[in-house]
Amino acid sequence: MHMPRLASVPWNAAWFEPWRASGQRVERSVQHGLPVWQALNRHLAAPVHFVAQGALPPGRPYEQFVAETGQCPSRDGLHDLFNGLCWALFPATKRALNRLQAAQIAHTGIQATRGAVRDALTVFDENAALLHAPDALWDALERKQWALLFGALRPLWLQARLVVFGHALLEKLTLPRPPITAHVLRIDGPAVSHLPDWDRWLAGQLDSGQLAAQPFAHLPVLGVPGWWAANQDPLFYANRQVFRPAGTGQ
């Protein structure tokens, strides 16, 4: 019997909270012998049907295949397991993102380098996190004012919510390390309160040009208050290789 092996996922970690229930169900089925694509179909309601990776014809761009067939080729492993979970939790956003990816491929074809637009779409798909937060928190994050963000403004994190979106980022966080950094996109709008609202709002906001302009803030996710015990010590934020000053890149 085919028995895919998955690395252990620390589902109790704070960043996995939105993914925990569905992820554990899928993981149990995989550990009992189902390939990832079958386990995803068994447990998730998603706008795509998951299929084995071999269903993708040689030379066919993955994003184009998903957009044209409604089928999502999935390999055995955490990367595609988390991608499937994202299709279920953020169906409208993932569909909108896939359409933008397929449209860009149709416009430019497959080239040696992705180009600014496809790069931005990939960064969002793979490494984004979504933040709903008071203005003061967002402003400090954009400016990389770490001492302010996690010091004087620390109580404001009780009014904020960060949700990891990118499936590669989720995979990285199965082995958490302080340097793991998210590309954070702000969730805004008066109607936004629950994740289905986030999904609908975000799907309506996604725009290739906007993403190509890199509207992201960089956040080492283990710095989020309540997410990592070590960050209760202010010295945690003194590592300039992790919490880099403004003007020094990511």
pLDDT tens profile 171-183: 999 999 999 999 9
Q: Are residues 130 and 188 in the same domain?
A: yes
- Residues 158, 204 share a domain: yes
Most confident of the ranges 65-79, 113-127, 196-210: 65-79
Do 175 and 231 lie in a common domain? yes
Question: pTM of the entire structure?
Answer: 0.93
Q: Which residue has the higher pLDDT, 229 or 112?
A: 229
- pLDDT (tens digit, 9 = 90+) per residue, 7-61? 789 999 999 999 999 999 999 999 999 999 999 999 999 999 999 999 999 999 9
Average pLDDT, the chain: 92
If asked whether residues 51 and 135 sit together in one domain, one would say no
Domain boundary among the residues 45, 68, 91 is at: 91
43 and 140, same domain (yes or no): no
User: 204 and 144, same structural domain?
Assistant: yes
Instruction: Give the model's confidence band at 147: pLDDT under 50 very low, under 70 low, under 90 confident, else very high.
Output: very high
- Is residue 246 in a domain? no
- Is 232 found in the same domain as 180? yes
Tokens linked to 247: 């003007």
Average pLDDT of the segment spanning 109-127: 81
| Cα angle 151-130-204, degrees, rounded to a multiple of 5 | 145
CA-based angle 95:96:97, to the nearest 5?
90
84 and 138 housed in the same domain: no
Q: How confident is the model at residue 188 (pLDDT cuts 50, 70, 90)?
A: confident
**117: in domain:** no
Domain count of the chain? 2
What are 99-110's pLDDT values in tens digits? 999 998 887 766
Q: Is residue 46 domain-resident?
A: yes
Residues 146 and 218 in one domain: yes
Give the count of beta carbons closer than 10 Å to the beta carbon of residue 116. Answer: 14
Quick check: is 132 in a domain?
Answer: yes
Which residues make beta-bridge pairs with 22?
Answer: none
End-of-domain residue from the set 71, 91, 111: 91
Rounded Cα distance between 87 and 202, Å, is 14
Q: What is the pLDDT of residue 101?
A: 92
The predicted structure's pLDDT at residue 2: 45
| 39's tokens | 């386990």
What is the pLDDT at residue 189?
74
- Judge if 87 and 154 occupy the same domain: no
Domain containing 43 equals 14-91
141 or 250: which carries more pLDDT confidence?
141
Q: Look at residue 5 in the predicted model and tell me its pLDDT.
A: 58
Q: Is residue 8 a part of any domain in this protein?
A: no
Same domain flag for 159 and 231: yes
Q: What is the greatest pairwise CA distance in the chain?
A: 56
Residue 3's pLDDT is what?
Answer: 43
3 occurs within a structural domain:
no
Tokens read off for 237:
């934020």
Residue 172 belongs to some domain of the structure: yes
Residue 131 lies in a domain: yes
* Average pLDDT rounded to a whole number, residues 81-89: 98
Q: Are residues 226 and 139 in the same domain?
A: yes
Identify the CA nearest to 24 among candidates 37, 46, 38, 8: 8
